[in-house]
Amino acid sequence: MTQTTVQSLRDKPAVRWTALILVALTMFFGYMFVDVLSPLKTQLEETVKWDSTIFGTYGSSEFFINVFCGFLIFAGIILDKMGVRFTAILSGSLMLLGAIIKIYALSEYFNMGGIGFDLLNSASFPASAKLSCIGFALFGCGCEMGGVTVSRAIVKWFQGKEMALAMGIEMAIARLGVFAVFWTSPMISKHFAQKGEMFLSVQAPVIFVGILLAVGLILYIIYGFMDKALEKEQGAEEIEEEEPFKFSDLGKVFGSGMFWIVALLCVLYYSAIFPFQKYATEMLSSNIGLETETAAKIFSMFPLGAMFITPLLGAFLDYKGKGATMLIIGAVLMFACHATFAFFPFNEVSHMAAVTIAITAIVVLGISFSLVPAALWPSVPKIIDNKVLGSAYSAIFFIQNIGLMSVPIIIGRILDVTNPNVAPGEPKNYTTAMIVFAMFGVAAFFLGFVLKIADKKKGFGLELPNKTK
């Protein structure tokens, strides 16, 4: 008698890859929304009177609730208690709610004295910025929760399958969102600016990505039906997942010197990347004399390069190792990019040469950023006890969010102080701001050496291949 093997939903490639695409697309839209206003800093100065300090505060507001209210930790607890399906839909709803608030904050109706304007408006901080910060903070809660949830969903569908490949593809799709928004946002803005509709020139790109977030929420709901079918099919079958976050584990984590080296490396790397994205378009426009749309297209090459290079570097680490060395190289490349924009005399060379050097520096930064997820994150399990690994990752993300919240405000203030008489929309001197970014690379370089020395003394295996023969 022949026994028939029944395939589960997880065993059907088309079904599990469909589940991945559904959740990855929502993160793609989320990454677009994060930087939807980044290429429009100059237009925001002219239209809604946001100076660099205000713009920096807006950029940092994405992390306000995650840092000051510890929402990043609560997101993990909600996921543990309520499951992937509920948490995915909640995160999508928070992202969409934040987008709707920001759309209203940038509308002509609100800025001409609409509901809530008088309550929020002040001479030092316009109402449009305050309300945008509120919306961005709510979006940030949903986006961080979504990132954690998507990782858990991939484990649920791909455990014992192509899990590493699935995570790499999800990351690549998400990073494409950054590439896409640095092309679409300036194009949409320019279309309305040419018609003289200045408020729509900054609001319309947000509306466009807000609609995509609504589509993303629908995709999460569709995924919810697939998730429910999988759970019904499995019944009492358990899927092995990461240990949930435990407050009691934090003492063991924070008491580790190696943890602090890795956590500070993470803060330095990401603080030199994500806040820089907010200012990169205006910096390129100021240094080289480019139009906003052209400057944004040049910077879009950064996430595109990182997206393709990261899997190759990951494969090198798996088979050849040299994780600590790669972190040091990444710090050098980061410094080289930011130092180029700080010190190179772009106005003394031809326009073509200036553009070529700028593109080269951006590509170099993309390579540097590729080294971080490829080398840094796989190093954590080698230096942290597996029993507290989940807590260690949560703590690193929390510390990282503190840096991501603080640096945009610092850079914005530096730009205002070093450009006191520059009119809105005019080119700015970015030298001091870029020196600060470059110093992050110097600090990361020395921490990388400390990490490599500690690894050599204690034998954590950071320079060894991840795959064992």
pLDDT, tens only, 325-357: 888 888 899 999 999 999 999 989 999 999 999
Residue 397 located in a structural domain:
yes
Under 8 Å between Cβ of 283 and 430: yes
pLDDT tens digits for 195-210? 888 889 999 999 999 9
| Cα–Cα distance for residue pair 284/266, rounded to 1 Å | 26
Asked if pLDDT for residue 239 goes beyond 50, the answer is: no
Helix axes 127-158, 163-194, angle to 10 degrees: 150
Under the banding of pLDDT at 50, 70 and 90, the label for residue 102 is very high
What range does the domain containing 170 cover?
Answer: 14-458
Residue 235 located in a structural domain:
yes
3-state DSSP helix/strand/coil percent for the chain, to nearest 5?
Answer: 80, 0, 20
Q: Backbone phi, then psi, for 423, in 5-degree steps? A: -75, 155
Asked if pLDDT for residue 161 goes beyond 80, the answer is: no
Q: What are 84's two structure tokens?
A: 């992937």
* Predicted pLDDT at 236: 43
Q: Backbone phi, then psi, for 334, in 5-degree steps? A: -60, -45
Residue 70 located in a structural domain:
yes
Q: What are 95's two structure tokens?
A: 């992202």
3-class secondary-structure state, position 320: coil
Under the banding of pLDDT at 50, 70 and 90, the label for residue 155 is confident
* Predicted pLDDT at 435: 96
Which of residues 197 and 101 earns the better pLDDT score? 101
**Out of 94-108, 246-260, 267-281, 392-406, which region has the weakest mean confidence (pLDDT)?**
246-260
Residue 3 located in a structural domain:
no
Which of residues 467 and 16 earns the better pLDDT score? 16
Under the banding of pLDDT at 50, 70 and 90, the label for residue 75 is confident
Tell me which amino acid residue 438 is: A
Q: Is the backbone of residue 426 left (phi > 0), alpha (psi -120 to 50) or beta?
A: beta
Q: Which stretches within 244-372 are classed as H helix? A: 250-254, 257-271, 274-288, 292-299, 301-319, 323-343, 351-371
Q: Backbone phi, then psi, for 442, in 5-degree steps? A: -65, -45
Asked if pLDDT for residue 300 goes beyond 50, the answer is: yes
- Indicate the number of domains in the chain: 1
Average pLDDT of the residues in 13-27: 88
Which of residues 166 and 436 earns the better pLDDT score? 436
Under the banding of pLDDT at 50, 70 and 90, the label for residue 389 is low
* Predicted pLDDT at 146: 86
Which candidate, 375, 373, 338, 384, places its Cα nearest to that of 462?
375
* Predicted pLDDT at 237: 47
* Predicted pLDDT at 240: 45
Residue 5 located in a structural domain:
no
* Predicted pLDDT at 8: 73
Percent pLDDT > 90 in the chain is: 42
Residue 467 located in a structural domain:
no
Asked if pLDDT for residue 393 goes beyond 90, the answer is: no
Domain of 150, CATH number, reads 1.20.1250.20
At a CB cut-off of 8 Å and minimum separation 6, what does 92 contact?
A: 26, 142, 146, 213, 216, 217, 220, 221
* Predicted pLDDT at 126: 92
* Predicted pLDDT at 39: 92
* Predicted pLDDT at 1: 44
Asked if pLDDT for residue 134 goes beyond 50, the answer is: yes
Under the banding of pLDDT at 50, 70 and 90, the label for residue 222 is very high
Per the document, the length of the chain is 469
Average pLDDT of the residues in 81-87: 82
* Predicted pLDDT at 175: 83
Which of residues 119 and 455 earns the better pLDDT score? 119
Residue 439 located in a structural domain:
yes
The mean pLDDT of the chain is 84
**Out of 69-83, 273-287, 398-412, which region has the weakest mean confidence (pLDDT)?**
69-83
Average pLDDT of the residues in 360-377: 80
Asked if pLDDT for residue 375 goes beyond 90, the answer is: no
Which of residues 216 and 463 earns the better pLDDT score? 216
Residue 4 located in a structural domain:
no
Whole-number Cα distances in Å, 263 to 237, 257, 395, 440, 448: 36, 10, 8, 14, 12
- Considering the entire predicted model, what is its pTM? 0.83
